[in-house]
Structure 1
């Protein structure tokens, strides 16, 4: 399994990458939506962990565009906004409030638990 991490906050991104790699997961990361879209034209990842407040393009728009490039990709939304609600156009892609993790995540094990609960059967993890 390979995970794409998209977050413009370098420390958040690096901590998440380090943790997931320590758990034996192949991880690639970028700091912007534009980088993510360009990377996914040539690379592949089964799951993307996407921050919502990205410069230039909002995380919801990134998810919609990534689904066009990689229709099989699954998502975890990682946001600091306690008021965030999955909008209808993203919900129509099969993404629900179950896919949302609020920042800051106090226990990084929550990411692994979320990945396993959402996608464990699909990816045999």
Structure 2
């Protein structure tokens, strides 16, 4: 299973990548929505962990675009915005508030739990 991490905060991105790799996952990461779109034109990931406050394109818009490029992709929203609510156009893609994790995440194991809940026994993690 491959995971795409999209976060403009380098330390957050690197910590998340290190944790997921330590858990045996194949992880690729980028610091912007534009990089994510370019990468997903040629690469594949089953799950994208997406920050909402990205420099140019908002995370919601990125999710919509990535879902067009890779309909099979699932998403975990990772945001520091305590008032974030999943907008209707993103909810219509099957992404609910259950897919939202607020920064900072105290127990990184929640990412593995979310990934498992998205895929059940389809993948062993």
Unaligned runs of 5+ in 2: none
Distance in 2, matches of 1:117 and 1:42, equals 27
Q: Shift of residue 114 of structure 1?
A: 1.4
Alpha-carbon distance in structure 2 between the residues aligned to 1:122 and 1:55 = 34
SS at structure 1 position matched to 2:121: helix
Deviation string 1:51-108 (CA, Å, 9 cap, x unpaired) is 0000000000000000010010000000001111000000000000010000000111
In structure 2, how many angstroms separate the alpha carbons of the residues matched to 1:119 and 1:100?
A: 16
Contact 2:51 2:77 in 1 (8 A): yes
Given that 2:74 and 2:118 are in contact with CA atoms closer than 8 Å, whether structure 1 keeps it comes out as no
2 CA distance for matches of 1:117 and 1:72?
15
- Give the Cα separation in 2 of the matches to 1:88 and 1:45: 24
Q: CA RMSD in A?
A: 0.9
TM-score by length of 2: 0.97
> Where does the alignment leave 5 or more consecutive residues of structure 1 unmatched?
none
Given the two structures, how large is their TM-score scaled by the length of structure 1? 0.97
Question: 1:14, CA displacement in angstroms?
Answer: 0.1
| 1:121 positional shift | 3.0
Equivalences, count: 125
Give the deviation of 1:47 after TM superposition.
0.3
How many angstroms does 1:124 deviate by?
4.1
